[in-house]
Each structure stands twice: as structure tokens, then as C-alpha cells.
Structure 1
């Protein structure tokens, strides 16, 4: 009998562990979902779980509790994710334990996987140090649909450690699809060639110089300019066809035809107001009639277990939605506080901001901030922006917060100066750099030239 009880206890522990794992997977999946996908997921969950009931259809009534003035003290209380689990023998999971487990379970979501999830799956199979794993995951969440960086990866570093960044980049680039985590298609092709090996002679020149010139010139002219033999040129052409210039597109999902903002941030009567735009989502509760069935005296054990299991799953799902809303609101509130000047004055006033700064402010891991801001948008007085837009690194050294400037703000300053010039007036990159320095914006001449090119503004060489 003692041995039988031991086996039963082990079985109960395994079942409990599997339940917690499923809960974390569900939470992680919901956290990264855009609003339209979340709407569909809620509908699917209601259809398959009789314990869930819709008490308010999407769009019926406003959610006044979601509308709040961000100048007021944070009134949303963070709830323990598993606080209402009442199973016998259940041991609460600390927030720290929960957050660390999420890092390893994220890739296990059993729906059609995105590029991010496919890469994270592979990361979780690797035996990497925690610091490297965290940075690698942040790099993955920073990738766009092509597999390239949304923002410069060095902004994800929490300390001056370029070696760690290089290790994390190498790790992602070696995963399938090979060649992600690059600046552009040229770097990706060269990374793929390095990993694949056996590239033909002159392949680097073919990629760096030849492919770009082919848009405007005939192949034979480009080949002659680069002094590549016909045989080598043909080998390069054949080899490049075995690579993918945009590796992320191999796992792309259908792009939505329209974007529904997750947040609305407005300035009203001199104060910033933050609204969680959840009107397209139905409101759920546990179906009381369904739960009563489990309390009836004549019900058999299997039926009682059916009611109990589905009620528990429904409660898990509702808690996951609440946790998602809570995390999104706290993150958005922090972004608004950090970027208050932007919301009042526009892109010219966007300040440098890192995931870690927001994570430290709201008391979560930075990967949680990265996850909750993925595929999320905010409608502002200045337009519709990805939440990732508000995270940008400093380009003016490492002074105090007031002296730092973001890349977006620097570009806006350049546009401002250029807009003030006469139609036929030209200004050199050096002169523009000096003019910006007079305004307290220190940019090297090369940086000015690069930004002018990205903005498609007349550069000094056209004079």
C-alpha cells in the first residue's frame, strides 16, 4: 500500500506539473498576440469549453475602467497568476519562478508558429548561460518579418558587453532559417554563405557591389566594372540562388489587411489619457449554470470531473487574459511616462529608451516587456505607432538622460533644418553637423550623411 500511495503521489505531481506548464504556455501565447488574433482565439476557446460564457459581446459597451489618466497613481493591482488555483496539494509559483519558466516554455505553443516562436524553440533546446539566453531572446523578438532587426541590436544590451552581443547574434544567425538577425539582405546572404561554405571566388564582391548595381545596369557591364570573370560570375549567380535574401519570409504568416490599435494615447485638456482598446473583444465569465451541474448530488464521478476540469481551464484562460491586459497597461503607462515629451510634442522629442528601463520600472523581466510589445500598436495624436517604435538607442554618447537623443529625434531635427532652407539652397553634411551641434545635437558628419540618405534628402555630393 505505501508503494501504491507513492506511485499515486508521483502521478499527481506529474499531472500538476503538466497543468502548470500548459498554463504558462497559454499565458505566453496570449501575451504576444495582436488584438485581431486574440479576438479569434477567445471565440475558439468559448466554442470548445462549455464552462466559458460571453456576458458582453464585442463593441456593445465601452470599458470605462480601461480609460485612465496616466498622471494618476497606478491603480491596477498585479495579481498572482495562479492565486485562485484551489487544487489539493497545489504549491504556489513565485513570480520569479514563473517568469524564468516562461523563458523555456515559450516555444511550445501548439498553433501555427511564427518566425519568433520557431527561433525560440531552437534557443530552448540549447544549453546557454542565462545572460546569453536572455539577450538572444530579445534579439529574436526584435526581428521583423524578413528576419532582420527592427531596431539596432546594441540597444538591447543592458551593459557594455559587445562580445556577448556578438555571441547572441552568431547564435540566432546559425538557427533555421539561417541568416536571420542581420542588418539587411546583403549581410544575410554573406552570413548564409559563411555558414554553408563553398562559396565561389568573388562572391562577397558579387553580393556587396554587384547585386545592387544590377538594378540599374546590365549584367555584363556590372561584371566588367567589378572585374569578375564570366565563369566566376556564373558560379556566383548559381550559388546565390541556393540562398534566401529574406530568410524570415520562409515562415511568414498572412499579414492582416488592417491594424487595430491595442492602445489609444491622447492629450485631452492638457493631460495624457491612456485607453486599452478592448472593445472588439468579448467579456467572459465562468458559466454559473455549468458549475451548478458539478454540485448536483446525483451526478456521477466522470461527469463531476468533466465539469471541474473545464471550469478550471476556463478560470485559467480568463486569468491569462487579465494578466495580458494588466501587463500591457503597466508597460504602456511606463512608456508614456518615459516618452511624455513625444506624446506632447511629436517624434522630434522621442528620447532613448531600453526594454530594461521599462522592465525595471514595472517589476518584470525585460523579455516580458519585449513579448508584450510585439505586434502591438498605439494610436496617438501623432499617428499610429508600433510599441517597439518607442524603444530606441542613444546616438549622442552616454550623458545624463536630458542630453541623450534618439535616432528618430535626430532625423526629425535634420528634417526641420532642411525644411527651413530655400528650394535651391544646399548645405554640406559637415555644415549641417555643425548647425545641429549648435542646437545641442552632436552628430558626426558620417552619421548626418547616413541619415540624409535614409530620409532621401539632398546630400552634399549633389552640390
Structure 2
């Protein structure tokens, strides 16, 4: 039961890893068919005439029989060189090597660079990295590294980084430094007059400083972030053909499993064998076959339940699959659980980290479960949260030149029969990764 629950919760990529692990641990389990494998028989045959011509030519640079190990090594090197991006530390150390500095300074500089996080800021206090008598050299190296590309690295935080970057700007106003230290939030809110009054400078100078700040990078190291993109493999796909919906669970990524024929044969022939030591062998074979059957059944149960959940989602969210996200309706785990005859926890576990491919894009299964937002019009029913967010996005795209405030968006939604507070609009806007009206 525990194994079944665990397998139910696994996304497709994790399930593939779990199958590989089970195949390694249980000799009674084997792959009957690997859908991802391409038969060598289906590969195109070599053009022997062309190959023979080049092998017999006077050009020693071509040979199909040259050292394969060397070729593989070269291929691996080229792939790594092309695919691996340069890290922030590598980029800074490369610049450090070009500096005309003593070896001791280079070593301190390398320590400082290896102490930087992905933003380009110190992980530990730099004074802890070197001895007391090396502090003057350490401070000098920090000053040098801060002016490397990207400028502003090797700083304590984004405030110090912005000040360093500002100092490298030609003819930068002195007023920019107190703005960075004390007034960044006020700048973000557009309170230029208040800032000018506090610093006793013209408002035009505040605006000039703001333009300079917009050209700076508060987290300079992120340009060299080595974070890999995340790729999603849909667990289930829904298509609409001739007015009918077709639901397909992704089985292509999962191999077909079965019992190892040798183990099965031993199990069948073990009934009347009374030879010494046979009981232990029989117990081992029986245990492994039982585990293999349980594992195969658990995967099949995951497949069947996932298909039932997908079918229920399509039934409840039919308008979504016809018209798109604006038509999503409120749906709870309880609705689906009662519909397919399982516990709510099972539905929750199954929908976590799994994705559905639709005509409108790829969505996490949890996307289709949404709270209700009550409509204001008589008989208007209720709207799903995601539907409200989709309508909000549509309004903002249609009114892009008007920079609508959250209150104005709330008013426009009410005209469509959706009454939500301004703070709720702000919350949904942030979830849509849309900035405030001022920033827009």
C-alpha cells in the first residue's frame, strides 16, 4: 500500500528513475518493451561506396576505422564546451589572471571570488578569509574585483553594488549616493518631490539620478547564473476532435514491465522439490516475484487513476477545453474524489507535480482546481479564480496604454459581474507577474 501511494505521487521523470531503481534491485522484474528504444535495424545503412572512396583516397584525414576512443573524447569535449555556460566565478577569475599583481594578491583575489554567491555578493565576511596582516591587501583586491565585468560584484549587498556601479558612471551626480542609501523605496513609489525636499535638491536632479539607476543592475552576478531550465513532460494530453474530447495518458516514456521468464519458471517448478537448501531459494524467488507483481500493479493503478482524474477534470472544465482559461469554473478535490470513488488525499497526491497538455498550452493538474469568486449579476453564478485572472490579463492587454490602477481594474471586473476587492486584484496581478500601474 505504501509503495502504491508513493508511486501514485511520482511525476513522470521521477517514476522513470524509480523504475530503473526497481529493475536494479529486483531480478524478477524485467523490461518487456522499451518504447523509447529505436531498433538498430531501422537505422539507415552506411553508404559503403562513398566510405570506401574516402578510405582509399590519398587524404589521411578521413578514415572510418580511426581510434574510436579518441573520437568519443573529442566529441565529449566539444559537447561540454558548447553546452556548459561560463559561470560568474570563472569569468571573474579569468579577469583576475590578467591583472599585473603579485602571487599573494592573486591568491587573495581567488579566495574572494570563490566566496561569492550567485548574485555576486559575499557569502562570508571577507575578513574571515585571510589573516589580520593580509587585510590591507584584501581590501585592495575587493576594490579591483568590484570594477571587473560585471561591475558591482564582490559587494556586501545590492546597496553597495549600486553605489560602486554608480561611481563608474561618467559625471554622475553626487546626489545619487544618498538616493541609493535612503530613498530606493520612495523612488519606486514615484515620490520624487518628497525626495527632492528631503535632500534639498531640484526634482529634475532626482529624475536624472533615477534614469542612471535604471541602467544599473542591483544583482550583477545573475547574468552568469548557471541555473538550468526546467523541462516539463506532460503526463496526460487532451485533444478535441470532431467535437469530442480524447484523453491520452503518456505511456511512451514508461517501459512495459513483466516477470523475468527464468524466475517465473523456477517458481512454477518449485512445488515438489525437496532438495536441501531449496526452501531458502523458493522463499527468495517467491518474494521477488511477489514484489515485482506489486510494483507492476502499482504502476497500472497510477495509470488508471490518472486517467479517471483527467476524465473528471475534462467533464467539470469542459468550457475551458473549448474556450480557454477565461472559462475555467470552480472545482474542488472533493468534487473529483467523489466522482471517481477515491479519497481527496489520493486526488491531491496524484495532481501534484503532474501536467496536462491542452490546445491552450501545458498546465499543472492543480491549475484546474480553483476557488469560487461569486458573481454580482443575478443568476450569474460564480467564477473560478484562474478565470478571473485570465479576464484581468485580457483587460490589461486591451487597455495597455491607460496604465490601469488596481481599483480601476476592480471597477471594470464589477461591470462584468465579478466583484473582488482592490487588494485581491493586487494579489492576482502579482500572481500573474504583472507590475504595478506606475511601473507599467
Measured against the shorter chain, the TM-score band is 0.5 to 0.7
Match of 2:415 in 1: 438
| Deviations 1:176-227, CA, capped at 9 Å, x for gaps | xxxxxxxxxxxxxxxxxxxxxxxxxxxxxxxxxxx999999645558999xx
Given that residues 348 and 409 in structure 1 are in contact (C-alpha distance below 8 angstroms), is that contact kept between their aligned partners in structure 2?
yes
- 8 Å Cα contact 1:426/1:458 also seen in 2: no
Distance 1:447 1:306, change over 3 A: closer
Q: Give the direction of change, closer, same or farther, for the CA distance of 1:292–1:429 in structure 2 (3 Å limit).
A: closer
| Contact persistence 2:375–2:418 (CA under 8 A) | no
CA drift at 1:446 = 3.7
Match of 2:345 among 363, 367, 370: 367
The structural deviation recorded for 1:375 is 1.3
The within-5 A match list for 1:379-394 is 379-394=357-372
Whole-angstrom distance in 2 between the partners of 1:420 and 1:411: 14
Q: How many residues align?
A: 262
Distance 1:375 1:453 in 2: 22
- Deviation of the 1:449 alpha carbon: 4.4
In structure 1, the gaps of 5 or more residues are: 1-23, 62-210, 226-253
Structure 2 length normalisation: TM-score?
Answer: 0.52
**Alignment partners' CA distance in 2, 1:427 and 1:385:** 28
* 2:382 aligned counterpart, secondary structure: coil
CA offsets per residue over residues 70-118 of structure 1, 9 Å max, x none? xxxxxxxxxxxxxxxxxxxxxxxxxxxxxxxxxxxxxxxxxxxxxxxxx
Match of 2:245 among 250, 264, 272: 272
Q: Deviations over 1:127-156 (max 9, x none)?
A: xxxxxxxxxxxxxxxxxxxxxxxxxxxxxx
Shift of residue 425 of structure 1? Answer: 3.3
Q: Of 397, 414, 430, which aligns to 2:392?
A: 414
Q: SS where residue 395 of structure 1 aligns?
A: strand
Shift of 1:410: 1.0
Residue of structure 1 in register with 2:10 after alignment = 33
The 5-angstrom pairing of residues 100-111 of structure 1 reads none
8 Å Cα contact 1:285/1:318 also seen in 2: yes
Instruction: Determine the C-alpha separation between the residues in 2 that align with 1:257 and 1:346.
Output: 25
Contact 1:213/1:222 (CA < 8 Å) preserved in 2? no
**1:345 positional shift:** 1.1
Q: Distance in 2 between matches of 1:224 and 1:431?
A: 23
1:359 shift after superposition: 1.0
Query: Does the 8 Å contact 2:373/2:418 carry over to 1?
Result: no
2:402 partner SS: coil
Q: Is the 8 A contact 1:214 1:222 kept in 2?
A: no
Q: Secondary structure at the residue paired with 2:245?
A: strand
C-alpha distance in structure 1 between counterparts of 2:160 and 2:379, whole Å: 45
How much does 1:456 deviate?
5.9
Query: Which runs of structure 2 are paired with 1:245-284 in the superposition (5 Å)?
Result: 257-284=230-257
SS at match of 1:321: helix
Change (3 A) 1:323 1:399: farther
Cα separation, 2, equivalents of 1:364 and 1:54: 30
Query: Which of the residues 308, 311, 332 maps onto 2:289?
Result: 311
Q: Superposition RMSD on alpha carbons, in Å? A: 3.6
C-alpha distance in 2 between matches for 1:367 and 1:383: 27
Q: TM-score, normalised by structure 1?
A: 0.50
Q: Which residue of 1 aligns with 2:147?
A: none
Q: How far 1:416 moved relative to its partner?
A: 2.0
Deviation of 1:372 after TM superposition, in Å, equals: 0.7
Unaligned runs of 5+ in 2: 39-156, 163-178, 188-226
Structure 1 residues 213, 56: CA separation in 2 closer, same or farther (over 3 Å shift)? same
CA contact under 8 A between 2:376 and 2:418: conserved in structure 1?
no
Residues 1:44 and 2:17 are matched in the alignment = no
Tell me how far 1:401 sits from its aligned partner: 10
> Could you tell me which of 340, 343, 366 is aligned with 2:318?
340
